[in-house]
C-alpha cells in the first residue's frame, strides 16, 4: 500500500476549542480542498463538550464557515465533515479513552487496514501529561510495524525551565522523541524556509563579527490582548513570542552549517546555536532589557488589576562565540505599539542594511497547513526539539527571574503609538 493510501486517523484533544476553530480546522480543510490529505483520512474529535458525532460534524461545519466565510463549496464542506467522528470525555476519564480505542478500531475496520495515528494536543499544557498517561494506559500508543503514532504539541512548552523539564518528562513517559512534533508556526514562515543564512550571509566570511554590526528582530503588533486576558496575563510578551518565535528565528540565522540536510542535523545545529547564547546576570538584565505595559491593559477581563505583566519588551545582547563575537542582537516585541512591523535587519559595519520581512503572506491557515502536512509526512525539520526547548529556557529564565524582582522597572505606555519603542532606545545607547 502506498503511503498516501495508508489510512490516517487524526485525533485532536480539545476538538471544540479556539485553537481548532482558528488554526487547525481551517488548515485541515485547506489540505482537503487541495487534495493533499491522505486518501483514507479520518478524524476523531475528543472534547468534554456534551454532543454526539452528528452534532460535532455540525460544529465542524459552523467553525469552517465562520472562519473561511461563505465563499466555499457546500459539497466540499459536506464531504469534509463526513470524515469526522467524536468521543466525549474528560481528559482524566478512563472510560473515555476506552471509548476512543473502540472508535479507532471501528474506523480501522471500516477502512480495511490498521491506521497511522496523529494525535493533536489542542489543549492547555497542564493537560498534556494527563492525556499522554491515559493514552499509554489505554494501550493507544503501541506502534505496529506497518503504522506509526505521532503527537503534535502546541506551545507554551512550560513557563520556565523547571516546568518545561517536568512537561518533557511527563510526555517522555508515553512518547519517544521521534514521535513528538512541537509546533511553532514561525518555523513555517517564508524567511525561515528560504534559508535566512543564505539571504543575509551569502557573501560574507567567518568570523562574521568582522563584517556585521548588529542583528535586529522586531515583532511589533498593532493588535492588543483583546479577549485573551486569561491566557496572556500569566505569560507576557516575552514568554508569548520572544522565548520561542524570536529565539528560533535567531537560531536559524546564527547556527553553523549543518553537517547534512537531515532533520536531526538541522535541529541539532539550531540547538547548539541557542546553547551558545550568553546568559545574563541580574545586573545585565537590569541594564540590557526594557519592559512596558500599555495603559488600560489591567482593565481587560481576566487580567490581574495589579498585573506587572509586560506587553512590550526589548532585549539587547552581544554574541560571544568565535564566529559571531561582538555582534549585537536586539530582540523586540510588543502589543498596541502602532502599525505592525515585523522584520529581521542585519546591519553591516559598512552601513549596509539587509532586511527581510517576517510578515506572513498567508494567515495562520497557510502556516498550519504546511506544518500539519509535514507532521503527516514525518518530517521534523521545522519542529522544535527537546534540546532547543531546554536551551531557550536556559536563556530566558534569568531574565524573567530578574523582571519578577522589579528590575528593570515596568514602564507604562500610551497604546497605539511608538512611544515605548522610542523610550526603549535608551538601553541601546547606554
Cα separation values, 216 from 118, 249, 250, 365, 411, Å: 37, 11, 9, 27, 22
Specify the pLDDT at position 429.
87
Q: pTM of the prediction?
A: 0.94
Cα separation, 291 vs 238, whole angstroms: 9
Which has the minimum average pLDDT: 42-51, 68-77, 145-154, 224-233?
A: 68-77
Average pLDDT for residues 311-326, to the nearest whole number? 97
Average pLDDT for residues 275-287, to the nearest whole number? 98
Specify the pLDDT at position 263.
95
Segments making up each domain of the chain, as ranges: 3-154, 187-360+385-429
- Tens-place pLDDT, residues 217-236: 999 999 999 999 999 999 99
What does the block give as the cell for 153? 504539541
pLDDT tops 60 at residue 159? yes
Average pLDDT for residues 15-38, to the nearest whole number? 94
Q: Percent of the chain beyond pLDDT 90? A: 87
CATH fold for domain 3-154: Rossmann fold (3.40.50)
pLDDT tops 80 at residue 69? no
Specify the pLDDT at position 197.
86
Instruction: Give the confidence band of 23 by pLDDT, cuts at 50, 70, 90.
Output: very high
* Per-chain mean pLDDT for the chain: 94
pLDDT tops 60 at residue 2? no
What does the block give as the cell for 413? 505606555
Average pLDDT for residues 281-299, to the nearest whole number? 98
Which residues in 188-322 belong to E strands, given as ranges?
A: 212-220, 289-294, 312-318
pLDDT tops 70 at residue 181? yes
Instruction: Give the confidence band of 1 by pLDDT, cuts at 50, 70, 90.
Output: very low
Instruction: Give the confidence band of 57 by pLDDT, cuts at 50, 70, 90.
Output: very high
Specify the pLDDT at position 172.
95
Average pLDDT for residues 81-92, to the nearest whole number? 98
- Tens-place pLDDT, residues 137-146: 999 998 777 8
- The phi, psi pair for 341, rounded to 5°, reads -150, 110
Cα separation, 1 vs 421, whole angstroms: 57
H helix runs in 69-178, sequence order: 74-81, 94-111, 128-137, 161-172
Instruction: Give the confidence band of 132 by pLDDT, cuts at 50, 70, 90.
Output: very high
Instruction: Give the confidence band of 79 by pLDDT, cuts at 50, 70, 90.
Output: very high
User: Who has greater pLDDT, 365 or 193?
Assistant: 193
Instruction: Give the confidence band of 4 by pLDDT, cuts at 50, 70, 90.
Output: low
Cα separation, 254 vs 242, whole angstroms: 16
Nearest CA to 57 out of 86, 24, 37 is that of 86
Instruction: Give the confidence band of 364 by pLDDT, cuts at 50, 70, 90.
Output: low
Superfamily of domain 187-360+385-429: Dihydrodipicolinate Reductase; domain 2 (3.30.360.10)
Cα separation, 196 vs 278, whole angstroms: 22
Nearest CA to 4 out of 381, 367, 369, 378 is that of 378
First to last CA, the chain: 64
- Tens-place pLDDT, residues 185-213: 999 988 888 888 888 998 999 999 999 99
Amino acid at each position: 500500500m502506498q503511503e498516501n493510501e495508508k489510512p490516517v486517523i487524526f485525533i485532536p484533544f480539545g476538538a471544540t476549542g479556539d485553537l481548532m476553530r482558528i488554526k487547525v480546522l481551517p488548515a485541515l480543510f485547506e489540505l482537503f480542498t487541495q487534495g493533499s490529505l491522505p486518501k483514507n483520512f479520518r478524524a476523531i474529535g475528543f472534547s468534554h463538550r456534551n454532543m454526539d458525532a452528528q452534532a460535532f460534524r455540525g460544529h465542524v461545519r459552523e467553525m469552517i464557515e465562520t472562519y473561511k466565510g461563505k465563499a466555499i463549496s457546500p459539497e466540499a464542506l459536506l464531504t469534509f465533515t463526513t470524515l469526522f467522528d467524536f468521543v466525549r470525555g474528560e481528559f482524566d476519564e478512563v472510560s473515555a479513552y476506552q471509548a476512543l480505542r473502540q472508535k479507532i478500531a471501528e474506523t480501522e475496520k471500516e477502512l480495511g487496514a490498521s491506521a497511522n495515528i496523529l494525535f493533536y494536543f489542542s489543549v492547555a499544557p497542564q493537560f498534556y501529561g494527563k492525556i499522554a498517561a491515559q493514552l499509554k494506559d489505554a494501550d493507544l500508543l503501541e506502534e505496529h510495524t506497518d503504522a506509526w503514532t505521532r503527537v503534535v504539541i502546541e506551545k507554551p512548552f512550560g513557563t520556565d525551565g523547571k516546568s518545561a523539564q517536568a512537561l518533557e518528562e511527563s510526555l517522555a513517559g508515553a512518547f519517544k522523541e521521534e514521535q513528538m512534533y512541537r509546533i511553532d508556526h514561525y518555523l513555517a514562515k517564508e524567511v525561515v524556509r528560504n534559508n535566512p543564512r543564505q539571504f543575509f550571509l551569502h557573501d560574507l566570511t567567518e568570523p562574521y563579527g568582522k563584517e556585521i554590526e548588529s542583528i535586529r528582530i522586531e515583532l511589533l503588533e498593532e493588535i492588543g490582548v483583546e479577549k485573551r486576558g486569561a491566557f496572556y496575563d500569566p505569560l507576557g510578551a516575552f514568554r508569548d513570542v520572544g522565548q520561542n518565535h524570536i529565539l528560533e528565528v535567531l537560531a536559524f540565522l546564527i547556527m553553523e552549517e549543518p553537517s547534512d540536510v537531515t532533520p536531526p542535523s538541522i535541529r541539532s545545529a539550531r540547538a547548539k546555536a541557542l546553547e551558545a547564547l550568553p546568559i545574563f546576570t541580574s545586573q545585565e538584565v537590569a541594564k540590557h532589557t526594557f519592559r512596558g505595559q500599555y495603559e488600560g491593559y489591567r482593565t481587560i477581563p481576566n487580567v490581574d488589576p495589579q498585573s506587572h505583566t509586560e506587553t512590550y519588551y526589548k532585549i539587547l545582547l552581544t554574541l560571544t562565540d568565535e564566529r559571531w563575537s561582538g555582534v549585537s542582537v536586539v530582540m523586540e516585541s510588543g502589543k498596541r505599539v502602532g502599525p505592525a512591523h515585523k522584520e529581521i535587519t542585519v546591519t553591516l559595519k559598512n552601513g549596509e542594511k539587509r532586511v527581510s520581512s517576517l510578515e506572513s503572506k498567508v494567515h495562520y491557515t497557510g502556516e498550519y497547513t504546511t506544518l500539519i502536512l509535514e507532521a503527516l509526512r514525518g518530517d521534523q525539520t521545522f519542529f522544535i526539539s527537546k534540546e532547543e526547548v531546554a536551551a531557550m529556557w536556559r536563556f530566558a529564565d534569568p531574565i524573567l527571574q530578574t523582571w519578577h524582582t522589579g528590575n528593570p522597572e515596568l514602564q507604562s505606555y500610551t497604546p497605539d503609538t511608538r512611544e515605548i519603542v522610542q523610550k526603549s532606545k535608551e538601553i541601546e545607547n547606554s
